[in-house]
Structure 1
Amino acid sequence: MGDRRKSRELALQALFALDLNKTDSRPQIDDFIEQHGGDLSEPTRHFFQTLVDGVLENRKEIDDLLDQWAKNWKISRMPAVDRNIMRIAVFEMLHLSDIPPSVSINEAVEIGKKFGTRDSGPFINGVLDRIRVQYEP
């Protein structure tokens, strides 16, 4: 598994835990890294931190987009795994110009297949592709 995939999966796990605990506490992220990131390479740790911080800092904007483009779904009703996978991908599409949107979407779909339900991949793909169409140059 590549450094970025590992970062994305760890970011999903950290954001999922924060989401379920209804917090965005910095100490909780630090505890998460201490518990799960002891053997992380510096690039993996840095990208993980970029993703988590970026999602937390831009969550309102990201959630508004997900609400707008997820047909017949409110963000509060989405499965927590899918919601957090899409938050990461939307952050990447909007704020990390060195990553092509298609890569962010493909990674999100693959992670959704691994951590979500059998319906996660198509659901994530559909929502993210609608957002991509609006923001891709």
Structure 2
Amino acid sequence: MGVRRRSRELAVQILFQEEYHSDLNLEQSVALYRESFDTSPEVWEYAKLLVQGIKAKKAEVDTIIQSYSSNWRLDRMSHVDRNILRVACFELRFLDREVPSNVVINEAIEIGKKFSTEDSASFLNAILDNMAKAT
């Protein structure tokens, strides 16, 4: 598995955890995961970049996701799908175009297949494809 894929997975897991443990700050969340996962510094750095960016721009990221998800309110989405969308949206909209949109979308779909339901892939693809076309 590539560095970026592993970073995205960790970012989703950290964001997911923070929804249930809002008393933890980013450093504490990362420290908990570092104890459990033996992975390279590059993976941690990109995961931390994603999580910090998403937390800093959470309102904007959530507004963007909501605007492309006309049939689902953000608070009604599964926690996993919501956080996968946050990671992908942040990469699509706020990071310099170092990663092509089709790669971001494919990575989100693969993470959804791994951590979410079988319906997740089509749900994520529909929202992210529309989001990517609009940029």
TM-score, normalised via structure 2 length:
0.91
Unaligned runs of 5+ residues in structure 2 are none
1:133 and 2:126 aligned: no
Q: CA deviation at 1:86?
A: 0.6
- Per the alignment, residue 65 of structure 1 pairs with 64
Q: CA deviation at 1:67?
A: 1.0
In the alignment, residue 124 of structure 1 is paired with which amino acid?
Answer: L
SS in 1 for 2:134: helix
CA distance in 2, matches of 1:116, 1:27: 26
- Per the alignment, residue 16 of structure 2 pairs with 16
TM-score, normalised via structure 1 length:
0.90
- Per the alignment, residue 101 of structure 2 pairs with 101
Give RMSD over aligned pairs: 1.5
SS in 2 for 1:43: helix
User: What percent of counterpart residues are identical?
Assistant: 40
**1:81-123 CA deviation, whole Å, 9 max, x = no partner?**
0000010000000122201111111000010011000110000
In the alignment, residue 129 of structure 1 is paired with which amino acid?
Answer: D
- Per the alignment, residue 3 of structure 1 pairs with 3
Q: CA deviation at 1:33?
A: 3.7
Unaligned runs of 5+ residues in structure 1 are none
Count of residue pairs the alignment pairs up: 134
**1:14-37 CA deviation, whole Å, 9 max, x = no partner?**
100002234572343233343234
